[in-house]
């Protein structure tokens, strides 16, 4: 029996089939429209159908870039995707017409739990994982247990305020850690630096097609490697 894991981010959905040892046997990915939750549901159902064709699936896990309900069925709120009290497990189950269990977990919790079970933290009993993507996610394991906290969002360290009166965040607060340490922050800082010091950013602006707006995270990484 196998499981499907689906990672739903602000820009893409990545999905795979895993065995009981966490080994990935097949994978696929599609782009997402962050402002259109219904199209995200449809894309999730589509990748699950694709991946179920060759494997007997016993469970589906949805890793969502948002605050998840403690019963692990819905996303309460997402800073970077238009989810508000969104019953994503039920929607995907209806689209698939399946009675296979579908569980929703915060994406950083899912990544952290994978590291704890099979990865770099498998010898540890206490662990903090940080996931750096569009935003900044966190997962905390204490005494071999994933810490969800009272409202299911105990590991959301990316929304701790680290800079009073700092940049406004998608969560509605300002100065969140995510606004200073994430892929989005990297691009924002690089664009601002390229505007104020264009003579130092010639290569980067060139690689971005001559426009500061064309600067992306991967281009900044390439420039740093150069």
Q: Which residues bind Zn ion (CB under 5 A)?
A: 159, 169, 171, 176
CB of 175 to Zn ion, least distance (A): 8
Q: Print the SS3 string covering 131-189.
A: EECCCEEEEEEECCEECCCCCCCCCCHHHCECCCCCCECCCCCECEHHHCCCHHHHHHH
159 vs 191, beta carbon nearer Zn ion: 159
124 vs 163, beta carbon nearer Zn ion: 163
Residues 174, 146: Cα–Cα separation, whole Å: 27
CB of 169 to Zn ion, least distance (A): 3
CB of 178 to Zn ion, least distance (A): 6
148 vs 159, beta carbon nearer Zn ion: 159
CB 176 within 8 Å of CB 157? no
55 vs 180, beta carbon nearer Zn ion: 180
CB of 174 to Zn ion, least distance (A): 8
CB 86 within 8 Å of CB 74? yes
Neighbouring-strand partners of residue 63? 7, 105
93 vs 159, beta carbon nearer Zn ion: 159
Pick from 73, 75, 55, 65: which is nearest to 4 by CA? Answer: 55
């Amino acid at each position: 029996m196998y499981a499907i894991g689906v990672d739903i981010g602000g820009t893409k959905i990545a999905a795979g089939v895993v065995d009981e040892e966490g080994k990935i046997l097949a994978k696929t990915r599609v782009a997402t429209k962050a402002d259109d939750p219904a199209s995200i549901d449809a894309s999730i159902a589509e990748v699950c159908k694709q991946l179920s064709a060759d494997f007997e699936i016993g469970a589906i896990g949805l890793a969502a870039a948002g605050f998840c309900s403690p019963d692990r069925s819905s996303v309460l709120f997402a800073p970077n995707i238009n989810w508000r009290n969104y019953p994503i497990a039920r929607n995907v189950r209806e689209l698939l017409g399946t009675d296979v269990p579908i569980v929703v977990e915060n994406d950083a919790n899912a990544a952290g739990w994978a590291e704890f079970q099979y990865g770099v933290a498998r010898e540890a009993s206490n662990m903090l994982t940080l996931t750096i993507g569009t935003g900044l996610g966190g997962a905390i394991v204490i005494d071999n247990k994933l810490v969800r906290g009272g409202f299911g969002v105990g590991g959301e360290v990316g929304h701790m305020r680290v800079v009073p009166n700092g940049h406004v965040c998608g969560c509605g607060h300002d100065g969140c850690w995510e606004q200073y340490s994430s892929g989005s922050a990297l691009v924002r800082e690089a664009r601002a630096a390229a505007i104020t010091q264009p003579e130092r950013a010639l290569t980067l602006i060139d690689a971005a097609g001559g426009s500061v707006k064309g600067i992306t995270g991967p281009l900044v990484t390439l420039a740093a490697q150069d």
